[in-house]
């Protein structure tokens, strides 16, 4: 089984809808991250969490919120989806002393 899983893998939704992307990990890592990837822009950090009680905004947090339900779970919500949130979303984890991040398989989100 994969160490980092994301659900759903693909989602098409309409403008204005609320949507949640979920991430689970079995690596036992404290640190978890949400990124979006757009062509030509690279991965951009949306939110990150260093433990269950720690939530931090990344460089592009507007329009997004997160919840760290447990060490193993970190969900990303789009409160009111808009078309420019169409992107590939990745969840990642890392250990406390490691900068190596382990990524989930990604969620391809399309907002129409």
Partner 1 sequence: RKEVEQDPGPFNVPEGATVAFNCTYSNSASQSFFWYRQDCRKEPKLLMSVYSSGNEDGRFTAQLNRASQYISLLIRDSKLSDSATYLCVVHSSNDYKLSFGAGTTVTVRA
Can you name the residues that pair with 93 across neighbouring β-strands?
A: 32, 102
User: How many residues sit in the footprint of partner 1 (CB under 8 A)?
Assistant: 22
Least separation in angstroms between residue 2's CB and partner 1 is 10
Residue 41 in contact with partner 1, rule: CB under 8 A: yes
Whether residue 92 contacts residue 101, with contact meaning beta carbons closer than 8 Å, is answered with yes
Residue 55 in contact with partner 1, rule: CB under 8 A: no
Residue 103 in contact with partner 1, rule: CB under 8 A: yes
Q: How many helices (H) and strands (E) does the chain have?
A: 0, 11
> Rounded to whole angstroms, how far apart are CA atoms 81 and 64?
9
With contacts defined by CB under 8 A, name the span among 13-21, 50-58, 60-68, 69-77 that binds partner 1.
Answer: 50-58
Burial of residue 88 (CB within 10 Å: 0-12, 13-18, 19+) is middle
Least separation in angstroms between residue 39's CB and partner 1 is 8
Q: Using CB under 8 A as the criterion, which residues of the chain lie in contact with partner 1 when the complex forms?
A: 35, 40-45, 48, 50, 56, 58-59, 88, 90, 99-101, 103-106, 108
């Amino acid at each position: 089984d994969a160490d980092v899983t994301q659900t759903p893998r693909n989602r098409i939704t309409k403008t204005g809808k609320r949507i949640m992307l979920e991430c689970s990990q079995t690596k036992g890592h404290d640190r978890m991250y949400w990124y979006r990837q757009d062509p030509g822009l690279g991965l951009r950090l949306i939110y990150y969490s260093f433990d269950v009680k720690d939530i931090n905004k990344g460089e592009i947090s507007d329009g997004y919120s997160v919840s760290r339900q447990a060490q193993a779970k970190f969900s990303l919500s789009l409160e009111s989806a808009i078309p420019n949130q169409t992107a590939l979303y990745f969840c990642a984890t890392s250990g406390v002393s490691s900068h190596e991040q382990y990524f989930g398989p990604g969620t391809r989100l399309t907002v129409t």
